Amino acid sequence: MGYTPEMKELIKRVEATRPARIERVKQGIQFPKLSLAEAQKRLRTYHPDYKEDGRREFKIGPNKGDGHTYPDEVVDLFEANSRIDPDKVDLSNPDFETDVLIIGGGGAGTTASLFAQQNGMKVIIATKLRHGDANTIMAEGGIQSADSPVDSPYYHYLDIIGGGHFTNKPKLVEAIAKDAPIIIQWLESLGMNFDKTPDGQMRLLAGGGICRKRMHSCGDFTGAEIMRTIRDEARNRRDDITVLEYQPAVEILLDEDGKAAGALLYNMETEEYIVVKSKAVIITTGGCGRLHIQGFATTNHYGATMDGVVMAYRAGVPHCFLYATQYHPTGVAYPEQNVGLLITEKFRTAGAQPVNIDGEEFTFPLEPRDVESSNIIRECMELGKGVPTPVGRIGVWLDSPMIDILKGEGTVERDFPAKFIQFKRYGIDISKEPMLIYPTHHYQNGGVEANEWGETKIPGLFVAGEVLGGVHGENRLMGNSLLDINVFGRRTGMRSAEYVKQGVTIKKLTLDHVRAYQKELKEAGIETDRISPMLLPDYTNPEVRNRQLTARYFGTLR
Amino acid sequence: MTTTVAKDAMRKGDKTIIAEGTRMIPLFIMGKRYYVPETLTIQKAMEYAGYQFIRSCGCRGGICGACATVYRLEGDYKLYSGLACQTVVQPNMYLVQIPFFPANKAIYDIEKLPYDVTAIQTTYPETFRCVQCNACTKVCPMDLQVMDYMAAAIRGDIEAVAEMSRSCVMCGLCTSRCPAETNQYNMAELCRRLYGRYGQKKSQQVAKRVEEIKAGKYDPMIKELQSIPLEELKKRYEEREWEPIISEGWQPKETKYL
Ligand SMILES: Cc1cc2nc3c(=O)[nH]c(=O)nc-3n(C[C@H](O)[C@H](O)[C@H](O)COP(=O)(O)OP(=O)(O)OC[C@H]3O[C@@H](n4cnc5c(N)ncnc54)[C@H](O)[C@@H]3O)c2cc1C
Ligand code: SF4
Ligand code: SF4
Ligand code: FES
């Protein structure tokens, strides 16, 4: 295990240029940043979003003819049938009734549950896997908040909106820039552990595209620390917060007036459908890495399949910015067992440089993510300066040993314990040998359209977290997602409680919107046996799938 | 040449590409034999064998703790464990997954607990039944010194428990092996929260900024950004001053927006 002899030979070229690169870093000389205009050009030429093949327009629903094209993998989910036949579902006898139903037990959903509960609500969280099996628990780098004396929400706002190419929705940007310190203080009060100095000062770090040190963290598992803390708190409030695991939602329920009124859940183990009636619904289903857009590997968890956007769309809520997908510049390209997994941006903020097969720098290490990814793709695909792996993938080096040289022996192991172990298991010591990386699908960017309180156009239907579109416009910066899931979790938790308290009477439940959507599919001439939401990706060996020959299934065994 | 091959490979997403000539090895999933390529992780090997996971699969990246797996190797009495998404298969591995193991979760109000050993005594009294057998440490897939953090808990050293359990993925393997029926990882979670809540000092700067925000200090500045023309906004973005990597004592020239 470890690197092959061929790769070890190539690593020598990286080692050969290292002393000179270290010297330049010490003198404050880095590879130059691209100007806005140059960056735009790079994006248009190399970023996967700008490729024309493999994309198409929406032919049905609220985003029909909106002038954008979307990846086929996304459109396929919307040009698909419901998992259920509305005529067969009995909505007259709900299995559960509650005030607020939260769909998705990740970070946004759990924060929403806590704020709804403390505002007097009974809450159900329905989630696909276990409570906390989510993108949130995987987040490594940190969470942004402008609380240092040389920083302010003004600069935070500028960074967010510039990073998003000035397309972000201003009110949503304002919400996260201004709520950020409130969230950090709240997490502190719940007992989240932050990296602090002994006198309680946050150890703030830099990040791609941000002009001040603003990243708050807990080692390289900030997301896990947030998730563990808020999940433990939700469990402490179990009298009011019920969690239903392995029971994803497959459709939103409306009432006769068109208000949100619950959801239809699917028990993946017993294969039965369950009706939940509620006065408000918050969708917090996260992202979509498992769609493998354009064949990219992903950093996302197993359940990241865009279900929330699909369900909301069938109920009539448009989406925005889904045409832009975020590729994280540094996904693992070797060893094959770890392909796609994230290497946090903090490696680059700590001093590791991306270098090509000849050990040369070719990009400013902390460009916004889309630009950094484009530079890496260009280096590999256009300039032929990538490093091949034994199975024919390609990548560039991320020179992690620089960190120990710049910051002292042992820094890599101390500051990146999780990553250190992950590579050590495959015989690679990342404090001594560089890592091979390539962009990987990381973040959804776009999502369901809503206002700064997470309210959609449907009364009583809220969205929060990665499923919500517009906060980050076309491109998110590191550390703003852990922030936004908490900001909008909090805001939707509070706002849904207000909405319910003003007196909501749910009338007869209906799935008519699903019928109407099926009709629209048919009228648009879309005939397909695809079914969505997808719920889980299919990684079963196709040869085995081909031998699953049961023609019809009756009774117990499929 | 390599580039063309790679372009193709890039389209395969997460599907592991199996190098030509990879050896197939026998793997026993709950006692039943399958042949799988020797380079795969247990998780991907089970998918290769035809399994579709509902349980035992979460992050696929070694942090959620959903895929705890215990195994033995033929001809070896020892019990091994690992995370299925992080452990490569070996020939004649006999494995079973433990996607769920019942554990006691104490219900408490963090605001009402003291910052000393009595917090542990009242919530997880079983902690004190630990017989120091070390079975938990041996089974931990994150190589944590579980028995040692239990000992620290018994001493009432909450900070040490927090530090020593920091990278716990809450997989439950330690609990499954404990002869004293303790719930190590839930107890450790309590200690981490106590440490964060009472052991670590609160950030004064965060508190100060919250007050400033609540007083509306930044509202006019943000309104300004929302009302200037796009060209001006872009200009301000391009002209931001950057805090240097080594920034002790650094002050920006522009201070009116701080
Ligand atoms: C590897 C990685 C590293 C990251 N690092 C950072 C970082 O350092 N800083 C940062 O700010 N951001 C980071 N991010 C991004 C950030 O973690 C996520 O965007 C954010 O956590 C999303 O939170 P969420 O609550 O919206 O979604 P999630 O946390 O993904 O939760 C969604 C939940 O909904 C469930 N669900 C899905 N579909 C359904 C359904 N149909 N019914 C019911 N439940 C469903 C899922 O199973 C999941 O539990 C990272 C992301 C990844 C993947
Ligand atoms: S301490 Fe226990 S729960 Fe935590 S990782 Fe180790 S075995 Fe798993
Ligand atoms: S397994 Fe239980 S009894 Fe043994 S050392 Fe660990 S906590 Fe103590
Ligand atoms: S699937 Fe999350 S740790 Fe293995």
Q: Report pLDDT for A208.
A: 83
Spatial contact of A101 and A265, defined as CB atoms under 8 Å apart: no
Q: Report pLDDT for A295.
A: 87
To the nearest 10 degrees (0 to 180), the angle between helices B184-194 and A222-236 is 100
Determine the distance separating the centroid of ligand 1 and the alpha carbon of A142, expressed in angstroms. 14
- Residue B12: pLDDT above 70? no
Give the span between the Cα atoms of A142 and A159, in whole angstroms. Answer: 16
Q: Report pLDDT for A7.
A: 95
- Residue A146: pLDDT above 90? yes
Where does the pLDDT of residue B18 fall: very low under 50, low under 70, confident under 90, or very high at 90 and above? confident
What would the mean pLDDT of A272-292 be, rounded to a whole number?
Answer: 97
For residue B2, how many other CB atoms are within 10 A of its CB? 17
- Return the higher-pLDDT residue of A64 and A1: A64
Q: Report pLDDT for B14.
A: 64
Give the span between the Cα atoms of A301 and B67, in whole angstroms. Answer: 13
Using alpha carbons, select from A17, A7, A34 the residue that is nearest to residue A367.
A34
What would the mean pLDDT of A263-270 be, rounded to a whole number?
Answer: 96
Give the span between the Cα atoms of A32 and A361, in whole angstroms. Answer: 10
Which are the contacts of A70, defined by CB distance < 8 A and separation ≥ 6? A55, A56, A57, A58, A322, A323
Give the span between the Cα atoms of B124 and B238, in whole angstroms. Answer: 55
Query: What are the DSSP E strand ranges found in A8-118?
Result: 55-56, 70-71, 96-103
| Known active-site residue A348 | yes
Spatial contact of B143 and A425, defined as CB atoms under 8 Å apart: no
Structure tokens at A245: 């695991």
Residue A202 DSSP label: B
Q: What is the mean pLDDT of chain A?
A: 95
Ligand 3 proximity of B184 Cβ (cutoff 6 Å): yes
- Residue A389: pLDDT above 80? yes
Helices (H), A87-221: 107-118, 135-138, 153-163, 170-190
- Residue A205: pLDDT above 50? yes
Mutation test residue for ligand 1: of A214, A285, A311, A422, the one with most atoms within 8 Å of CB: A285
| Beta-bridge mates of residue A263 | A252, A276
What distance separates the 2 farthest-apart alpha carbons in chain B? 75
What is the percent of chain B with per-residue pLDDT over 70, rounded to a whole number?
A: 94
How many H helices and E strands in chain B? 11, 5
Please state the φ and ψ torsions of residue A202, each to the nearest 5 degrees: -70, 140
Using alpha carbons, select from A233, A234, A179, A118 the residue that is nearest to residue A498.
A118
What would the mean pLDDT of B64-71 be, rounded to a whole number?
Answer: 97
Determine the distance separating the centroid of ligand 4 and the alpha carbon of B11, expressed in angstroms. 24
Residue A365: cis peptide before it, omega within 30 degrees of 0: no
Using alpha carbons, select from A419, A406, A399 the residue that is nearest to residue A353.
A399
Of B12, B14, B195, nearest to A298 by CB-CB distance is B14
Name every chain A residue with its beta carbon within 8 A of the beta carbon of B170: 228
CB crowding B13-40: b at 16 or more within 10 Å, else e? bbbbbbeeeeeebebbbeeeebebbbbb
Spatial contact of B59 and A302, defined as CB atoms under 8 Å apart: yes
Q: Report pLDDT for B249.
A: 87
What would the mean pLDDT of A150-177 be, rounded to a whole number?
Answer: 97
| Closest residue CA from atom 3 of ligand 2 | B170
What would the mean pLDDT of A228-236 be, rounded to a whole number?
Answer: 98
Q: Report pLDDT for A460.
A: 98
Q: Report pLDDT for A141.
A: 86
B8 touches chain A (CB under 8 A): yes
A203 touches chain B (CB under 8 A): no
What is the percent of chain A with per-residue pLDDT over 70, rounded to a whole number?
A: 100
Structure tokens at B110: 């963090």
- 3-state SS class at A497: helix
Instruction: Report pLDDT digits (tens) over B122-139.
Output: 999 999 999 999 999 999
Spatial contact of B73 and B92, defined as CB atoms under 8 Å apart: yes
| Closest residue CA from atom 5 of ligand 2 | B168
Instruction: Report pLDDT digits (tens) over A427-440.
Output: 999 999 999 999 99
User: How many residues can be counted in chain A?
Assistant: 558
Where does the pLDDT of residue B10 fall: very low under 50, low under 70, confident under 90, or very high at 90 and above? very low
Using alpha carbons, select from A222, A251, A272, A174 the residue that is nearest to residue A532.
A251
Name every chain B residue with its beta carbon within 8 A of the beta carbon of A193: 162, 166, 192, 195-196, 200
What would the mean pLDDT of A13-29 be, rounded to a whole number?
Answer: 94
What is the distance of C-alpha A204 from the center of its chain?
23
Q: Report pLDDT for A558.
A: 67
Name every chain B residue with its beta carbon within 8 A of the beta carbon of A145: 206, 209
Instruction: Report pLDDT digits (tens) over A98-107.
Output: 999 999 999 9
What would the mean pLDDT of A158-173 be, rounded to a whole number?
Answer: 96
ipTM, two decimals: 0.95
Spatial contact of A340 and B14, defined as CB atoms under 8 Å apart: yes
The pTM of this model reads 0.95
- Residue A323: pLDDT above 70? yes
B221 and A292: CB-CB below 8 Å?
no
What would the mean pLDDT of A119-124 be, rounded to a whole number?
Answer: 98
Using alpha carbons, select from A404, A395, A332, A381 the residue that is nearest to residue A22.
A404
For residue A64, how many other CB atoms are within 10 A of its CB? 12
Using alpha carbons, select from B59, B3, B244, B208 the residue that is nearest to residue A133.
B59
HSE-up of A375 (CA within 13 Å, CB side)?
24
Where does the pLDDT of residue B15 fall: very low under 50, low under 70, confident under 90, or very high at 90 and above? low
Give the span between the Cα atoms of B164 and B149, in whole angstroms. Answer: 6
Ligand 2 proximity of B135 Cβ (cutoff 6 Å): no
Q: Could you tell me whether strands A394-398 and A96-103 are parallel, antiparallel, or unpaired per DSSP bridges?
A: unpaired
- Residue A542: pLDDT above 90? no
What would the mean pLDDT of B160-189 be, rounded to a whole number?
Answer: 97
Q: DSSP letters of B144-183?
A: --HHHHHHHHHHT-HHHHHHHTTT-----HHHHH-TT---
From the CA of B207, how many Å to the nearest CA of chain A? 7
User: How many residues can be counted in chain B?
Assistant: 258
What would the mean pLDDT of B176-203 be, rounded to a whole number?
Answer: 98
Give the span between the Cα atoms of A450 and B35, in whole angstroms. Answer: 50
- Residue A552: pLDDT above 60? yes
Which are the contacts of A487, defined by CB distance < 8 A and separation ≥ 6? A175, A176, A179, A180, A183
Q: Report pLDDT for B247.
A: 80
Instruction: Select which of A216, A328, A369, A442 is catalytic.
Output: A328
- Residue A312: pLDDT above 80? yes
A380 and B6: CB-CB below 8 Å?
yes
A68 touches chain B (CB under 8 A): no
Structure tokens at B171: 């997989």
Spatial contact of A135 and A252, defined as CB atoms under 8 Å apart: no
| Closest residue CA from atom 5 of ligand 1 | A139
Determine the distance separating the centroid of ligand 3 and the alpha carbon of B131, expressed in angstroms. 6
Q: DSSP letters of A258-291?
A: S-EEEEEEE-TTT--EEEEEEEEEEE-----GGG
A184 and B5: CB-CB below 8 Å?
no
- Residue B13: pLDDT above 70? no
Q: What is the mean pLDDT of chain B?
A: 92
Q: Report pLDDT for B1.
A: 28
B117 touches chain A (CB under 8 A): no
A549 touches chain B (CB under 8 A): no
- 3-state SS class at A98: strand
What are the structural domain ranges in chain B? Answer: 24-97, 110-199, 205-232
Candidates B243, B254, B255, partner chain A, best to mutate (most A CBs within 10 A): B243
A334 touches chain B (CB under 8 A): no
- Residue B6: pLDDT above 50? no
What would the mean pLDDT of B57-83 be, rounded to a whole number?
Answer: 95
What would the mean pLDDT of B100-109 be, rounded to a whole number?
Answer: 96
Instruction: Report pLDDT digits (tens) over A457-488.
Output: 999 999 999 999 999 999 899 999 999 999 99
To the nearest 10 degrees (0 to 180), the angle between helices A481-501 and A222-236 is 20
Instruction: Report pLDDT digits (tens) over A404-429.
Output: 999 999 999 988 888 898 899 889 99
Q: Which ligand is nearest to the CA of A343?
A: 1
Where does the pLDDT of residue B7 fall: very low under 50, low under 70, confident under 90, or very high at 90 and above? very low
What is the percent of chain A with per-residue pLDDT over 90, rounded to a whole number?
A: 85
CA-CA-CA-CA torsion sign (B229, B235, B241, B245): positive
Instruction: Select which of A216, A290, A348, A369 is catalytic.
Output: A348
Using alpha carbons, select from B51, B70, B67, B69 the residue that is nearest to residue B59.
B67
Q: Report pLDDT for B29.
A: 98
Fold of B24-97: Ubiquitin-like (UB roll) (3.10.20)
- Residue A517: pLDDT above 70? yes
Closest residue on chain A to B107 (Cα): A236
Burial class (CB in 10 A: 0-12, 13-18, 19+), A510: middle
Spatial contact of A314 and A133, defined as CB atoms under 8 Å apart: no
Name every chain A residue with its beta carbon within 8 A of the beta carbon of B62: 418, 421-422
Spatial contact of A514 and A314, defined as CB atoms under 8 Å apart: yes
HSE-up of A221 (CA within 13 Å, CB side)?
23
**Segment 483-502 of chain A within 8 Å of chain B by CB:** none
Q: Report pLDDT for B8.
A: 46
- Domains of chain A in start order, with CATH, are 5-30+331-440 (3.90.700.10), 86-325+444-510 (3.50.50.60)
Determine the distance separating the centroid of ligand 1 and the alpha carbon of B73, expressed in angstroms. 36
What would the mean pLDDT of A488-504 be, rounded to a whole number?
Answer: 98
